Amino acid sequence: MYQSLLTRRYLTSKIMPLLSLVAVMLSTTTILVTWSVMGGFLETLKESGRTLIGDVAISWPNVGFAHYEDLIARLEAHEAVAAAAPLIETFGMVKLPDDQLQAVSIRGIDGPSFDRVTGFAGTLYWKPIDRPTPKDRERLDPRLPEKTDADFLRQVQRNGLNLVRPELGLDEPAVVPGIELTGLNQRQSWGGYIPMATTRPLADGGIASENIFMPRNGWLTMTLLSLDSNGRFAKAVTRRFPVANEFQSGIFDADSQIVLVELSALQSMLNMARADRVEPAGPFDTEVDPETGEVVPAKARVVGTDPARVTSVLVRGAAGVESDRLAQVAEGVYRAFALAHRDEVPNGDVILIRTWQQKNSTLIAAVEKETALVLFVFGIVCFTNVFLVLSIFWSMVSEKTKDIGILRALGGSMLGIAWLWLRYGLVIGSVGAAAGVALAAVIVHNINPIHDWLGGAFGIVVWDPRVYYFIEVPNKVDWWHAGVVFIAGLGTCVLGAAIPAMRAATMDPVKALRFE
């Protein structure tokens, strides 16, 4: 009973314990704000990476595998699969509008099916928007209704989804490069892009300036090496493509190094399209010309057909199906598919089936380690709370030595005296950690307005949209993380109070009463 009375009295009559409370509150706030922002960044990064490959990828690099239409039909017939799409991945060079050459990753896709698996349409940048992005308070975005023709942007959006440019009057496929690939889009402080003008040297020594909006008048010339069915280089192939749109995935490497191409066009360039298998005639083989009736050297003859190939089939799981479970389903479906096409496709033991986490493991692991490192450093700093609480409680025990002697003389047990100080630390830790979690929640919830105010008042811009590919600072608190931080804050306070509590409990009551 006396513990409750003294705890309330000490807590309301002394300034020193309130310093411990403030220290616990600030350390808890620091850890939770850091964890929320870094954790939000990691989650956003994962979701962006997922938009490139879906949930699971079945891959056989380089030469690819045939009969992928049958595999897609088998996958989509399974209840755990929502959609599947073909993909070709290769490397090549592109010649940019300013005549620069750049090495890129080239991906052949079928726009509509790729969208069903990855949400590709959502990554297309040039499309009409009704409201400005959160940081575009002056409505400078060229995609807003008052800035351009919305019908034109809707056409550009359709072109990007289908990888075509029909308004050119050309019946040929188009490409969709990452928004950062050409260097002709300048990122603004409000997080969006504005097309730039490019300069071109003239023969007379002058400089010509040209405004290039890639989805309207941009072209890319692509060069890559085709392979034969055994994976050997066959020849270099060059083709010029119009640009239908540009995509923004949120991952700089993807937005600056990937070009999406219409699937059939890439199959044709890589010798992966459906083709007749021709057997040359022998040197002494002859045949009768049906027109002249003469015996002539025999021509090569068609002995079969090689089906079209792709290097991957991407799979999206049905609602509620985890990627690991989906990978198991995909493996089972592929084994049945491989048995049905024995000796025509890789068997189920060698095919590569990986989830989106496994495909992006290097990038995700790097950010996870950075997050863990930052939390570790802040954790060490916050561990100093233990010594701060210890020193304050030690001083209070010294100050209250006579009180402790009186309590022991009146029959207070050693355990009761120890519990008095531990209880005191527990109350301070609980209040401080709870206040810290509440303060962190308020800060994280309003972190973007706070960040904008710091930028306007002091020029402090930590999360610059021109550097980071997410316009806003992540502002969501994970309450499981909040619980862990609360317990950690409470633990440091109780740990700091433990030694002074032991000192008070083991104090000789006679010496305590004689203490001056």
DSSP structure string for 256-292:
HHEEEEEHHHHHHHTT-S-EEEEEPPPTT-EEE-TTT
Per-residue pLDDT at 82: 93
**Is the pTM value of this prediction over 0.95?**
no
Span between the terminal Cα atoms of the chain, in Å: 27
Cα separation, 213 vs 217, whole angstroms = 6
**The pLDDT of residue 338:** 93
CA distance 107 to 127: 22
pLDDT one digit per residue (tens) for the chain, 516 residues: 555 666 666 656 667 777 878 888 888 898 888 888 888 877 777 777 677 788 899 998 878 889 999 999 999 999 999 999 999 999 899 988 877 888 999 999 999 999 999 989 989 999 998 888 877 878 888 888 888 888 888 999 999 999 988 876 666 789 999 998 888 888 887 778 888 776 666 666 677 666 778 888 888 999 988 766 666 666 788 999 999 999 988 777 788 889 999 999 999 888 888 877 777 777 777 777 777 777 777 777 767 778 899 999 999 999 888 888 999 999 999 999 999 998 888 888 889 998 887 877 777 777 778 778 877 877 777 777 788 888 888 887 777 777 777 777 777 777 777 887 788 888 888 888 899 999 999 998 888 888 777 777 777 666 666 566 666 777 788 888 888 888 888 888 888 888 888 888 787 776 666 655
Residue 243 contacts residue 218 (beta carbons within 8 Å): yes
- The pair of structure tokens assigned to 201 is 């040297």
- Sign for the pseudo-dihedral over CA of 36, 38, 42, 47: positive
Helix, coil or strand: residue 193: strand
Task: Supply the pLDDT for residue 470.
Answer: 64
Residue 515: its pLDDT value, please? 59
pLDDT for residue 339: 92
Q: For residue 88, give both structure tokens.
A: 């070709």
- pLDDT score recorded for residue 105: 92
pLDDT at 138: 84
DSSP 164: B
- pLDDT for res 169: 66
pLDDT at 465: 61
Q: What is the pLDDT of residue 26?
A: 87
Q: What is the DSSP string of 380-430?
A: HHHTHHHHHHHHHHHHHHHHTHHHHHHHHHTT--HHHHHHHHHHHHHHHHH
Task: Look up residue 229 and give its DSSP letter.
Answer: T
Q: Tokens 């540009």 appear where?
A: 246
- Six token digits for residue 294: 């003469």
Q: How many whole angstroms separate alpha carbon 164 and alpha carbon 243?
A: 8
